[in-house]
Structure 1
Amino acid sequence: MTSLVRTSLAVAALLAAGPVSGQAIQASQSATVSQWIADAHFEITYDRPVARDREIWGALVPWNEVWTPSANLALQLRVNRGVLLAGQTLPAGAYSVWLEPKEGGAWRLLVHRDLEVAHNVVPSDGWVLEAAIEPRRDADHMEALAAYFSDADYREGALDLHWGTTALRIPIEVPEGG
């Protein structure tokens, strides 16, 4: 093997290994999580904001204002078939997910038809789902926002959003024949 070929292969391996020195690394790391529940496939893509000793609820994330549980771009939800999300019908498709945190009582869950939306540009119309979700405010501390699926069973499960000591459990049902 010639030295030119060896050098080219070494450079290609270094570039494939990760960011080149000097490239910016996002403060809020990207994550993707997916889950099958029955014959429904769910995929969540989001950027995980980190608390970093900041007060989250009512400060970093204001009360009574629509916010996406993500940084950079809105949290993205893809589902391959119609399901019930928080008891509401959600057709197959790709969506952005938003919340309206409340200091007391239930929060509003909002799902929008546009997928690629900046985290700080709240859509004015085009909402396809709205539901009330009661937050749990005594969860173990989660430094970086986490989205995960819990209790995935034959036709039911939940999408959980957890940041700081607040956790939201969004029930999922997969109807038969969908």
Structure 2
Amino acid sequence: MKNLIYLLFVVFFSTSTLNAQDFSDIDKSPMDVTIIRNENHSPMARVIYSRPSKNDREIFGSLVPYGEIWRTGANEATEVTIYNDMTVMGQNIPSGTYTLYTIPNKTEWTIILNKKVHVWGTANNYDPDKDLMRIKAPARTAAAPIEEFSMAFQPITNGANLLMGWDNTYVEIPFKNVE
């Protein structure tokens, strides 16, 4: 009898605890990762970022102002890990982990790889003295609206393009293996 009362007590409180769970604090911009592998399946590059949603908002030029540095996603600043030395538009990038910032504009974006990592957003965290590189990439019109900010690698000969898109805009950054 004592065991039965104990079992009923456990079941009652377990069920009421499960029913009382509140998931309203779940991150509104969930974290995601994209990775590209070499032909031998070893990692070439990886990006960890958070995916904000459009939610009927005007994105570029409003939520993400033109001409201002952006963490390229939400929450923690986006991080890129390069597993082997690569080049991006002719600039050498040693293997390592970098923070990826962008400065969106209507017709082109400035892409920045920065040596300061593990930072939240941009306010008081971005240090231009730690920039490894800055390149320009044309802003392109997406074939269809992109609801959540998204990043993906597209394999190319001897490397991969990193695609970043949100709303009606995307940019493409070519990462090439050093030969």
TM-score above 0.5: yes
| Correspondence for 2:109 | 107
Of Structure 1 and Structure 2, the greater strand share is in 2
Contact kept? 2:59, 2:167, Cα under 8 Å = yes
CA displacement, residues 88-140 of structure 1 (integer Å, 9 cap, x when unaligned): 2111000110111112x321100100221111323342000110101102431
Distance 2:104 2:176 in 1: 24
Pairwise CA RMSD of aligned residues? Answer: 2.4
CA displacement, residues 32-58 of structure 1 (integer Å, 9 cap, x when unaligned): 111114565211111101110000010
* Residues 139 and 98 (structure 1), Cα distance of their counterparts in 2 relative to 1, 3 Å cut: farther
| Correspondence for 1:149 | 153
Distance 2:76 2:66 in 1: 20
Which stretch shifts more, 43-52 or 77-86? 77-86
| Correspondence for 2:22 | 22
Distance 1:64 1:157 in 2: 27
Q: Which runs of 5+ in 2 are unaligned?
A: none
Q: Which runs of 5+ in 1 are unaligned?
A: none
| Matched residue count | 163
* TM-score calculated relative to the size of structure 2: 0.81
1:66 to 69, 80, 104: 69
Residue type matched to 1:31 in 2?
Answer: D
Distance 2:130 2:26 in 1: 33
Q: Which has the larger radius of gyration?
A: 2
* TM-score calculated relative to the size of structure 1: 0.82
